[in-house]
Chain A
């Protein structure tokens, strides 16, 4: 069974600073993928970044990077140069092997508040 743990219910960061949102996972499958999604207060879900378990380098997408530490089973999201618009709930999710139809298990989320 897959499990995602996000231990930070809420985080605060000053505008223009970097912030790290924690995510640990548990799986016995050697092949898996990790995702981060953003949910603003308006409620929609937005895909941010993806990391495959066999990817050699950490994924980056603009101001988002995924700090993937396989041995520690962690997949932390780093947001650089925070902006007020980054205030939202952030969810870490994991998919299983390719044969698992892309089904994802989600964590309970971290609420990020960016202070001006």
Chain B
């Protein structure tokens, strides 16, 4: 099994550009999450989903959007990139709320 696959691994964006971070899992997990990790810090929740068609905001949703049309895919959209969005982005999935997350390998995004 591939687990959670994130693409791209690295990206440089100019201020004002937009992009989509892709996330796919093949474990049939209902719960999926997007976190960002700033240097030297823990992870902060951007958006999450409890199943196809259901998404909700986390702690830091401004400047982002998500969709969940299938169980497998949970893309994160950045609109009008700003330097404050420079971070490492992790997608994660979970079988149940009392199970640990399976993380993707992360996307290192730099906005210049």
Chain B count of residues within 8 A CB distance of the other chain: 27
CA distance A98 to B4 in the complex (A): 23
Q: Contact residue range for chain A?
A: 20 to 34
Query: A43: which B residues are within 8 A, CB to CB?
Result: 88, 105-106
Instruction: Provide the B31-68 mask, 1 if CB < 8 A to any CB of A, else 0.
Output: 10101000011111100101000001010000000000
Q: Is A29 an interface residue (CB 8 A)?
A: no
Assess the A44–B103 pair: CB atoms within 8 A.
yes
Query: B58: which A residues are within 8 A, CB to CB?
Result: 103
Query: B88: which A residues are within 8 A, CB to CB?
Result: 43
Interface set of B (CB-CB < 8 Å, partner A): 31, 33, 35, 40-45, 48, 50, 56, 58, 88, 90, 92, 94, 96-103, 105-106
CA distance A104 to B40 in the complex (A): 18
Chain A residue at smallest Cβ distance from B45: A103
- How many whole Å from B8's CB to the nearest CB in chain A? 14
**New contact pairs (12) apart from A43-B105, A108-B40, A109-B42, CB-CB < 8 Å:** A33-B98, A35-B100, A44-B106, A45-B106, A50-B98, A95-B98, A101-B31, A101-B56, A102-B96, A102-B98, A102-B99, A106-B42
> Could you show 6 A-B contacts with beta carbons less than 8 Å apart?
A45-B103, A47-B101, A50-B99, A102-B96, A103-B58, A106-B44
Q: Is A41 an interface residue (CB 8 A)?
A: no
Assess the A47–B102 pair: CB atoms within 8 A.
yes
- How many whole Å from B30's CB to the nearest CB in chain A? 9
CA distance A33 to B96 in the complex (A): 12
Chain A residue at smallest Cβ distance from B56: A101
Instruction: Provide the A15-45 mask, 1 if CB < 8 A to any CB of B, else 0.
Output: 0000000000000000001010100000111
CA distance A3 to B88 in the complex (A): 22
Q: Is A56 an interface residue (CB 8 A)?
A: no
Q: Is A68 an interface residue (CB 8 A)?
A: no
Query: A108: which B residues are within 8 A, CB to CB?
Result: 40-42
